[in-house]
């Protein structure tokens, strides 16, 4: 069985993939690579809050336009048949890709993966997972680092040759997703404490979204104005 001992870095233990699947908890993040299980320590409150915030934004945006499904850890992603099993903080699976979604795992490359970096996951997220996600064909990868004095958001998009290339961020600090049409995020809000109301951010997106009918845009504009006034 996988231990739940509190540690400051992932603990590794030799297990088969079948043993990993049997032992992995539905409440703890554990990944599998090259015959080893990586058991991660519990995340901080800041990490959890940021995962919940981004999950709320992506989940509601995807549901609004019926683009597919969003999931959050712990949920197994088996990147390829003989390859690693990861549990990304967040992932988006498009409608076209849902044939690969099973009850207990996703097989193949999600369309979008979001990892929130923690002290115990820096090398895994920035090096090992980056390489694996690229090899698997993940279309878009977000790396969000909220650590004090390390605050940085990096976005990568798979090019036609299968390489994850750094994506452009506007001079105003706005990133627009390549996978989710017209979804954008102001990077500066990710470092706010407390984080803003997700409804405010979504209303800001929907009030000018070209696929939202004009009457609904006006409703979102009114909602945005009300929430912004309340937050001021």
- Contact (CB, 8 A) for 61 and 34: no
% the chain with pLDDT above 90: 80
pLDDT of residue 38: 86
pLDDT of residue 19: 87
The average pLDDT across 27-51 equals 88
pLDDT band at 60 (very low <50, low <70, confident <90, very high): very high
Query: How far is 215 from 118, CA to CA, in rounded Å?
Result: 42
pLDDT in tens, 186-216: 999 999 999 999 999 999 999 999 999 999 9
pLDDT in tens, 7-21: 357 888 899 998 888
The average pLDDT across 168-184 equals 97
**Superfamily name with CATH number, domain 44-194:** tt1808, chain A (3.90.1570.10)
Where exactly does CATH 3.90.1570.10 map onto the chain? 44-194
Inform me whether the pLDDT recorded for 184 exceeds 80.
Answer: yes
Tell me the pLDDT of the chain averaged across its residues: 93
Task: Please name which of 107, 54, 94 lies closest in space to residue 180, comparing C-alpha atoms.
Answer: 94
pLDDT in tens, 117-161: 998 899 999 999 999 999 999 999 999 999 988 999 999 999 999
pLDDT band at 167 (very low <50, low <70, confident <90, very high): very high
pLDDT of residue 109: 98
């Amino acid at each position: 069985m996988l231990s739940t001992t509190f540690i400051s870095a992932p603990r590794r233990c030799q297990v088969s993939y079948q043993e990993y699947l049997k032992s992995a908890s539905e409440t703890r993040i554990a990944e599998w690579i090259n015959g080893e299980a990586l058991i991660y320590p519990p995340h901080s409150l800041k990490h959890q809050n940021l995962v919940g915030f981004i999950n709320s934004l992506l989940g509601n945006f995807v549901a609004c336009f019926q683009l597919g499904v969003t999931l959050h850890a712990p949920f197994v992603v088996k990147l390829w048949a003989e390859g690693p099993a990861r549990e990304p903080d967040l992932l988006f699976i498009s409608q076209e890709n849902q044939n690969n979604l099973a009850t207990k795992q996703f097989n193949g490359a999600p369309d979008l993966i979001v990892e929130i970096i923690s002290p115990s996951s820096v090398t895994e997220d920035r090096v090992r997972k980056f390489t694996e996600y690229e090899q698997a064909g993940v279309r878009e990868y977000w790396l969000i680092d909220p650590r004090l004095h390390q605050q940085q958001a990096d976005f990568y998009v798979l090019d036609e040759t299968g390489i994850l290339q750094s994506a452009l961020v506007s001079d105003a600090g706005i990133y627009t997703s390549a996978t989710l049409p017209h979804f954008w995020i102001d990077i500066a809000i990710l470092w706010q404490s407390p984080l803003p109301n997700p409804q405010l951010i979504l209303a800001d997106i929907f009030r000018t979204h070209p696929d939202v009918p004009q009457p609904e845009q006006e409703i979102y504009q009114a909602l945005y104005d009300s929430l912004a006034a309340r937050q001021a």
